Amino acid sequence: MPRAKLLPYVVAVVLWAALPGLVSRHVVDLLIFAGLYTIAGLGVSYLLGHCGIVCLAQSMFYGIGAYCVAYFSAQHALPSVVAFAAGALLSAAIAFAVGWPILRLSGHFLALATLALGVIAQVLFLEWDWLTGGTLGIGGLPKLQLFGWELNTPQRFYYLVWPVAVLVMWLKRNLTHSRNGLAMRAMRDAPAAAAVAGVEIHLVKVRMFVLSAILGSLAGSLFAHYVGFISVDSFGIDRSISFLLLAVLGGVQTTWGPALGALFVTLAPELLSRFGEIHAVLFAVTLVIAVIFLPQGLGGAIEQRLRRDSVR
Amino acid sequence: MSRALLSLRDIHHSFRGLHVLKGVALEVPTGAFVGLIGPNGAGKTTLFNIASGFLDPDVGGVFLDGTDLMKCSVQERSRRGLVRTFQTPQVFSAMSVLENLMIGRHKQTRSGIVGNLFRSPRSRREYQTAKQAAMAVLERFNLSPVAEHKAGNLPAGQQRMLELARAYVGEPRLLLLDEPSSGLNNDEIAQLRRVLNELNGEGVTILLVSHDMNLIEAAANIHVLCFGEIIAVGSMATLREDARVREAYLGL
C-alpha cells in the first residue's frame, strides 16, 4: 500500500490509542459500550444487509453470553474462557434449534418470530431468578484477566474491546468477498435464481443466524466482565432494538457502518442530555432525520462520498 | 437418435381443480435443441417449474439422463446440470454483473462459511477462479462494457443475456429457457439466436419456450402444448401444415 494511502489509517489508530487519555472516564465508558454494541450489532447488520433478515432476538444471545459469565466465572470460579465458550456454544445451539424452523418464514413474519424469541428470553431471564438473579441481578462478577493483566479500569477494557470489534469487522469483510458472501446477497436479491445457481438458501440462513448469535453472546460475555453486575434490565427488547437501530443507522451494506451506528446510539443521547427533559424527543427526531436523509446509513453515505471523490 | 437427457413422463398437475397438465410426456435427447410452444395458459411455465423442481407434479416423473429427479431439490438438480432461466429475468439486482456471473460458479466450489471468514487458502483460490471464469464469458455475451455495473440497472435485453451467461458459467448440461426473447429488440433476438446455436453446437442441450417465431425456428424439433396436452411434434415447417396446430395456436 502506498504511504499516502496508509496515512489516514495511522492517524486513526494514533487517535484511537490516545483517546482514553483525552476524554473523561465517563466518555471512555460510553466508547466501550459502543465497542460492545458494534460486536453484537455486526451480526444483526449482516443478517439484515446480506440475508434480508430482520433480527430482534439479539438481546437473548447478549443475555446468554452475560449469564454464562455469571454462572461459570462467578458462581463456579472457572476460567473466563470456559464462560465465553459456553455462552457461544449455548447461543449457537439455541440459534440452530430455533432458527431451523423460523427461518422458513420471511419478511415481516420472520421479524415477528425473532421479536417473540426476544420477548420469551426476557421473560425467562426474569422468571429463572435462581439462575439470573431476576430483577435484583447478579453482582461481583470477576474482572477479565488477559495474559495476567487485569482489565480493571475502563481504559484497559477499551484497549481490548475495540481490537475485538475490528477483528469482527475484518471477518465480516472477508465473508462479504467470498463464495458464501456472494451467495447470501444473491438469495436476498432473487431467491429463486439463487436456488437455481445451487445456493442452499435455508442452510445458509441458519448458519448466518448461528454466527450472529455467537457474536451477540461474545459481546454479552465481554459486557458482563466489564460492568461486573448484570440484571435482566440489560437484556430486554429495547436492547435488541438498539442493535437493529445501530445496524440500520450505520448502513447495513458497509463493513464499518455498525461501528458508526453504535457510536451514534451510545454518544448521541449523552450529547443531547444537556438539553434536559426534551433529550429523548431530540434523539428520536435525530433518528428520523438520519433515516430520511441517509437511507444507506452513515457508513453508506460516507462511502458514496468517498467513491465520488475518487472518481474525480 | 441418442437417448433422452431430459425425460418428462405422464405429468399431471392441477391448481385448485383446474387440470393444467394432462399427462404430458416430453423427451429432450442429449445434445438436442428442442422447442416448446403453445398459447398462453397452455401450461408451459408449470411444466418448467416441475422439471426444475420448483413444483411437485400430482402424478408423473422427471428423469435426467435416466436418473429419477423427483426427490431432488432445485439445488440438487442444478448440481446435476439442469439449469433454468425465468420468464421475467431474475438477476441479482444490487450486485455487479461480474458478481452475478460469479454466483454461476457457486455449485462448482465448496468452501464453507468458517473458511470464508478467515480467508482460508481454498476460500481465496475459489473466489479468484470464480472471478476468472466470470471474466472469461463476459465477452461472449456482450457484457464486457457493463461488467462493473449493477445488474438491476441494465436494460431488459442485457439482463436476459446476463441470466443466460450466468447459467452458462455453471457448465450446465441442460438449459431450460423460459421466454428468453421477451423484451428484446430484433437485433438482440438475432444475437440471442446465434448464442443459443453456438452453445448447442458445443454440446449444451436446450429446451426453449418461446412465443417468438424467429427464435423458435432455431429448434430442430418443436413440441406444441395446448390446454395441458402435447398436440403435435415436429419441425416448424411440418407444424405449419398441421391443421390442429394451425387452429389452436398459429391462428392461420
Give the three-state DSSP class for B143.
Answer: coil
Nearest residue on chain B to A204, judged by CA atoms?
B113
- How far apart are the CA of B110 and the nearest CA of chain A, in angstroms? 8
DSSP code for B248: I
pLDDT of residue B74: 97
The pLDDT confidence band at residue A1, using thresholds 50, 70 and 90, is low
The answer to whether residue A181 scores a pLDDT higher than 60 is: yes
pLDDT recorded at residue B51: 97
Give the three cell numbers for residue B95: 450486485
Q: Using a pLDDT cut of 90, give the percent of chain A over it.
A: 73
| Mutation site for B-interface testing, chosen from A51, A182, A196, A199 by largest number of B Cβ within 10 Å | A196
Write out the three cell numbers for A214: 455467537
B170: nearest CA partner in chain A: A197
* CB atoms A199 and B130 under 8 Å: no
Residue in A175, A185, A198 closest to B116 by CB: A175
Chain B hits for A190, CB-CB cut-off 8 Å, are 90-93
Angle, helices A297-311/A237-250, rounded to nearest 10 degrees? 10
Contact A183 B106 (CB under 8 A): yes
Question: What is the per-residue pLDDT across A234-246, written as a single tens digit (0 to 9) for each?
Answer: 999 999 999 999 9
Q: Residue A223: what pLDDT? A: 97
Q: pLDDT digits over A199-256, tens only? A: 999 999 999 999 999 999 999 999 999 999 999 999 999 999 999 999 999 988 888 8
pLDDT < 70: residue spans in chain B:
1-2, 249-252
Question: Which residue in chain B is spatially nearest to A189 when comparing CA positions?
Answer: B92
Output the pLDDT for position B14. 95
What pLDDT does A311 receive?
A: 60
pLDDT digits (tens, 9 = 90+) for B155-185: 988 999 999 999 999 999 999 999 999 888 9
Position A297 scores a pLDDT of: 87
Mutate which: B117, B162, B168, vs A, most A CBs within 10 A? B117
d(CA B93, CA B156): 12
Would the CB atoms of A192 and B54 count as touching at under 8 Å? yes
pLDDT for the residue numbered B1: 46
pTM of the model: 0.93
Spell out the SS3 assignment of chain A. Answer: CCHHHHHHHHHHHHHHHHHHHHCCHHHHHHHHHHHHHHHHHHHHHHHHHHHCCCCCCHHHHHHHHHHHHHHHHHHCCCCHHHHHHHHHHHHHHHHHHHHHHHCCCCHHHHHHHHHHHHHHHHHHHHHCHHHHCCCCCECCCCCCEECCEECCCHHHHHHHHHHHHHHHHHHHHHHHCCHHHHHHHHHHHCHHHHHHCCCCHHHHHHHHHHHHHHHHHHHHHHHHHHHCCECHHHHCHHHHHHHHHHHHHHCCCCCCHHHHHHHHHHHHHHHHHHHHHHHHHHHHHHHHHHHHHCCCHHHHHHHHHHHHHHHC
Rounded to a whole number, what is the distance in Å from the CA of A181 to chain B's nearest CA? 8
C-alpha cell at B40: 398462453
Pick the residue from chain B with its C-alpha nearest to A195.
B75
Beta carbons of B99 and A179 less than 8 Å apart: no
Give the N- to C-terminal CA distance of chain B in Å, as an integer.
32
Contacts across the A-B interface (CB distance below 8 Å): 98
Could you report the per-residue pLDDT of A265-301, keeping only the tens digit for each? 999 888 888 888 888 888 888 888 887 888 888 888 8
Q: What is the DSSP pairing of strand B18-29 with strand B4-15?
A: antiparallel
pLDDT band, residue A4 (cuts 50/70/90) = confident
Contacts of A47 in chain B (CB under 8 A): none
Give residue ranges of A with CB < 8 Å to any B CB.
171, 174-175, 177-183, 185-186, 188-190, 192-200, 204, 207-208, 211
pLDDT given for residue B250 in this prediction? 58
**What one-letter code names the amino acid at A294?**
L
Contact residues, chain A, for B123 at CB < 8 Å: 174, 178-179
Interchain pair B92, A180: CB under 8 A: no
Does the distance separating the beta carbons of B92 and A195 come in below 8 Å?
no
Q: How far is B251 from chain A (nearest CA, A)?
A: 34
Contact assignment for B127 to A178 by CB distance below 8 Å: yes
* Cβ-nearest to A171 among B111, B112, B117: B117
Q: How many residues does chain B have?
A: 252
Task: Considering only the beta carbons, identify the residue of A183, A196, A200 that sits closest to B52.
Answer: A196
Q: Tell me which residue of A45, A21, A8 sits closest to A159, measured CA to CA.
A: A21
Mind telling me how many Å the CA of A173 is from chain B's nearest CA?
8
Higher pLDDT, A158 or A269: A158
Q: Could you tell me if B210 and B181 are in contact, meaning their C-beta atoms sit under 8 angstroms apart?
A: yes
